[in-house]
């Protein structure tokens, strides 16, 4: 019903909003204590523990929302956390900007937040209303239905192919990694909805914990969530976090809505207009999230070395007609460049004494080699 959809949507929005606030609180705490000698000093602050409490509260709200509303409605609402993070980042900005520079810098974030809010409104308004009780019988019936079995076969084959290219062929494309995450995530949200629905029914008095399917779903939920985190950790080591956030949101939401439509039959009985408006809301939310993450600063990698061309008077590999390797006809010198005469004496490399020997005449003419000449000082 619409009332249950509204309860689920409000719980999801509240949960994502609180999680975003919690993460920013903990990030603020870590930044303040960055120069502390104690690496675990944040454990002694009330701010960090408040963030942890709010995070648990927010995750509980998101978890409970799956029991009241269709999967296709709850999953796209994770855009709320990105909207909240963008707004919090602007409010607590430390730098001072002129109004013109401020608008130029944050215009994409403002437009993205507006689009994401419009998309969220369309999602809530035109979300599917088909929502059944998550009893053990219903979940078992959906689990063995032929549409879901066919969907599972396609997912398993696609996942194995992507995993093969990722592991054996070193295909580290962001699309490959995030598709693996999205396929695992679709199974995670399907099992989360089953577990949350059965727990809520049990709390209401209709005990569902004696069904074996509950524990099967619980194990699948934990396992897929762990492997999701592992792949996301690997992706974060290669790609920028803003790229992972935008592409991951789009792929995960699309695959999760497909899984919900196949497993829980979310769009059964819905008219074409509602489905098209819901799809339009998803597209607008996708565009909004992309614009929000597009504006984030990219980290500049630290280079712990001095480039050769930064040294005065030194030639480099980009100079026309110059080579880095020394001429073997000259004296052996470490790090020498061709045409050393033009370089100032202060930058000229030190030359080591050498002597040249040839192979014995019995072995015929050989390739000359150089041996360092050592002198032992008394």
10 Å CB burial of residue 75 (0-12, 13-18, 19+) is buried
Rounded to the nearest 10°, the torsion over CA 55, 57, 59, 63 is 180
Q: Which two tokens stand for residue 45?
A: 């602050």
- Note the pLDDT of residue 190: 92
What is the pLDDT at residue 97?
Answer: 55
Give the model's pLDDT for residue 161. Answer: 92
- Residue 328's pLDDT is 47
Three-state SS across the chain?
A: CHHHHHHHHHHHHHHHHHHHHHHHHHHHHHHHCCCCCCCCHHHHCHHHHHHHHHHHHHHHHHHHHCCCCCHHHHHHHHHHHHHHHHHHHHHCCCCCCCHHHHHHHHHHHHHHHHHHHHHHHHHHHCCCCCCCCCCHHHHHHHHCCHHHHHHHHHHHHHHHHHHHHHHCCCCCCHHHHHHHHHHHHHHHHHHHHHHHHHHHHHHCCCCCCCCHHHHHHHHHHHHHHHHHHHHHHHHHCCCCHHHHHHHHHHHHHHHHHHHHHHHCCCCCCCCHHHHHHHHHHHHHHHHHHHHHHHCCCCCCCCCCCCCHHHCCCCCCCCCCCCCCCCCCCCCCECCCCCCHHHCCHHHCCCECCEEEECCCHHHCCCCCEEEECCCCCC
Contacts 24+ apart (CB under 8 A), 24-28: 24/85, 24/88, 24/89, 24/92, 25/50, 25/51, 25/54, 26/51, 26/52, 26/55, 28/92
pLDDT tens for each residue of the chain, 378 residues long: 678 888 888 999 999 999 888 888 878 787 777 767 777 777 778 888 888 898 899 999 999 999 888 888 899 988 888 888 877 766 665 545 556 656 666 777 788 889 999 998 998 888 887 667 888 898 999 898 898 999 999 999 999 999 988 887 777 788 889 999 999 999 999 999 999 999 999 988 888 888 999 999 999 999 999 999 888 888 888 888 788 888 889 999 999 999 988 998 888 878 888 899 999 999 999 999 888 887 555 444 444 444 444 444 445 444 444 444 444 444 444 444 444 444 444 444 555 555 544 444 444 444 454 545 444 444
CA–CA gap between residue 123 and residue 132 (Å, rounded): 19
Q: Phi first, then psi: give them for residue 354, nearest 5 degrees.
A: -135, 160
Write down the pLDDT at residue 103: 63
Phi, psi of 119, deg, nearest 5: -65, -40
Give the residue among 182, 178, 193, 180 at the shortest CA–CA distance from 72: 193
Nearest to 122 by CA among 323, 288, 247: 288
- For the segment 262-304, what is each residue's pLDDT rounded down to a tens digit? 998 888 878 888 899 999 999 999 999 888 887 555 444 444 4
Q: From the CB of residue 278, how many other CB atoms can be counted at a distance below 10 Å?
A: 23
């Amino acid at each position: 019903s619409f009332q249950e959809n509204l309860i689920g949507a409000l719980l999801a929005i509240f949960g994502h909003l609180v999680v975003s606030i919690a993460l920013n609180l903990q990030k603020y705490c870590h930044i303040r204590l960055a120069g502390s000698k104690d690496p675990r000093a944040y454990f002694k602050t009330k701010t960090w523990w408040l963030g942890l409490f709010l995070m648990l509260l927010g995750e509980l709200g998101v978890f409970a929302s799956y029991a009241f509303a269709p999967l296709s409605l709850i999953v796209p609402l994770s855009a709320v956390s990105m909207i909240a993070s963008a707004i919090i980042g602007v409010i607590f900005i430390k730098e001072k900007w002129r109004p013109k520079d401020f608008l130029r810098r944050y215009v994409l974030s403002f437009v993205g937040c507006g689009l994401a809010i419009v998309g969220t409104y369309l999602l809530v308004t035109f979300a599917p209303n088909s929502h059944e009780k998550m009893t053990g019988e219903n979940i078992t019936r959906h689990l063995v239905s032929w549409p879901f079995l066919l969907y599972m076969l396609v997912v398993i084959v696609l996942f194995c192919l992507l995993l093969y290219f990722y592991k054996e062929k070193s295909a580290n494309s962001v699309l490959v990694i995030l598709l693996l995450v999205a396929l695992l995530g679709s199974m995670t949200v399907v099992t989360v909805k089953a577990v949350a629905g059965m727990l809520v029914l049990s709390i209401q008095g209709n005990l569902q914990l004696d069904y074996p399917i509950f524990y099967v779903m619980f194990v699948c939920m934990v396992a897929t969530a762990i492997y999701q985190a592992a792949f996301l950790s690997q992706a974060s080591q290669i790609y920028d976090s803003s790229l992972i956030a935008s592409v991951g949101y789009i792929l995960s939401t699309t695959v999760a809505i497909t899984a919900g439509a196949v497993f829980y039959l979310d769009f059964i009985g819905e008219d074409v207009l509602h489905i098209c408006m819901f799809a339009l809301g998803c597209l607008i939310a996708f565009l909004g999230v992309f614009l929000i993450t597009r504006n984030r600063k990219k980290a500049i990698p630290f280079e712990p070395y001095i480039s050769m061309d930064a040294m005065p008077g030194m030639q480099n590999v980009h100079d026309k007609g110059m080579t880095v390797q020394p001429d073997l006809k000259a004296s052996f010198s470490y790090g020498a460049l061709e045409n050393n005469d033009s370089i100032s004496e202060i930058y000229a490399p030190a030359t080591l004494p050498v002597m040249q020997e040839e192979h014995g005449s019995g072995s015929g003419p050989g390739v000359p080699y150089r041996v360092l000449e050592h002198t032992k000082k008394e």
